[in-house]
Structure 1
Amino acid sequence: DPISDMLTRIRNASRAGHPEVVVPFSSFKKKIAEIMKRKGFVEKVSEENESKRNFLKISLKYFQNQKGNRNPYIQGLRRISRQGQRIYVGKDRLPVVKSGHGFAIISTSKGLMTDSEARRAGLGGEIICEIW
């Protein structure tokens, strides 16, 4: 599953302290990365072309804790709806991730959006992943 692969690469790179992660390009992945950027979990998202292949370069965001260590903004991410088991929710059953400290990415009839945006728009859809 390409989306799970992207999320795993981001999780591993942020835990290892890498400044950026490169994943194969798709417009769906780019939309997910743009939402993560808009929510402040990643620094920058750019499209790279390398010998007829497109890649998505995602610059990860870190913060300094009291001890001076670099900690990733992304504490965790989890794929919810998978190819073998799609998870759909109505507008009344949209998840609240980590008591509001995280967000879910929902695929709705109006495109990809966060759980709070879908709640405001009164839309349900497929829960792609949760990020906190």
Structure 2
Amino acid sequence: MSVSDPVADMLTMIRNSVSVKSEKVDIRPSKLKMEIIKILKNEGYVKNFKKITQGEMDIIRVFMKYDEKEQPTIHGIKSVSTPGRRVYSGYKNMPRVFNGLGTVIVSTSAGVTTGKKAVLSKVGGEIICTVW
């Protein structure tokens, strides 16, 4: 039986795009992926994104962000929860990435948010990924 993880596939596509210094990457859309990409844009990891239709298929086009030295703003992106191993955390035990310099993306009962906002709202949830 094969198990797919669409979120991990999206993160791998972003990681590969950054490693070859690509300008953009096209991703198959879902509500969860769209929320993760919105957080990446709000936190300053990607330049922009837009949802477009090519023929009968929808895609999310994510534009990568680089600094003035052509270095990517995403140094690393790692999936934490998988379909076979879900990782949960309460707001009191929310992990920190690089002593607060990175971002934890969490799926809470109030929606998908960053770890810092989840702690301020006092809600825990499933840890989706970490970005630094």
After TM superposition, the score normalised by the length of structure 1 is 0.95
Secondary structure of 1:72's partner? Answer: coil
Instruction: Give the match for residue 77 of structure 1.
Output: 77
Instruction: Give the match for residue 89 of structure 2.
Output: 89
The CA distance in 1 between the partners of 2:99 and 2:80, in whole Å, is 17
Amino acid at match of 2:74: I
Secondary structure of 2:71's partner? Answer: strand
Instruction: Give the match for residue 117 of structure 2.
Output: 117
Structure 1 residue 27: Cα displacement: 1.4
Unaligned runs of 5+ in 2: none
Alignment RMSD (CA, Å): 0.7
Instruction: Give the match for residue 36 of structure 1.
Output: 40
The CA distance in 1 between the partners of 2:25 and 2:98, in whole Å, is 25
User: Which of structure 1's runs of 4+ aligned residues deviate more than 6 A?
Assistant: none
The CA distance in 1 between the partners of 2:31 and 2:112, in whole Å, is 11
Among residues 16, 19, 25, which one is paired with 1:21 in the alignment? 25
Instruction: Give the match for residue 11 of structure 1.
Output: 15
- Of all paired residues, the percent bearing the same amino acid is 35
Structure 1 residue 64: Cα displacement: 2.4
Number of paired residues?
128
The CA distance in 2 between the partners of 1:43 and 1:121, in whole Å, is 27
The CA distance in 1 between the partners of 2:9 and 2:87, in whole Å, is 18
Structure 1 residue 101: Cα displacement: 1.0
1:54 aligns with 2:58: yes
Structure 1 residue 111: Cα displacement: 0.1
The CA distance in 2 between the partners of 1:87 and 1:74, in whole Å, is 23
The CA distance in 2 between the partners of 1:21 and 1:83, in whole Å, is 24
Higher strand share: 1
Deviations 1:52-75 (A, max 9, x none): 11101000000123xxxx110000
Structure 1 residue 110: Cα displacement: 0.1
Deviations 1:19-60 (A, max 9, x none): 111011111101100000000000101001011111010000
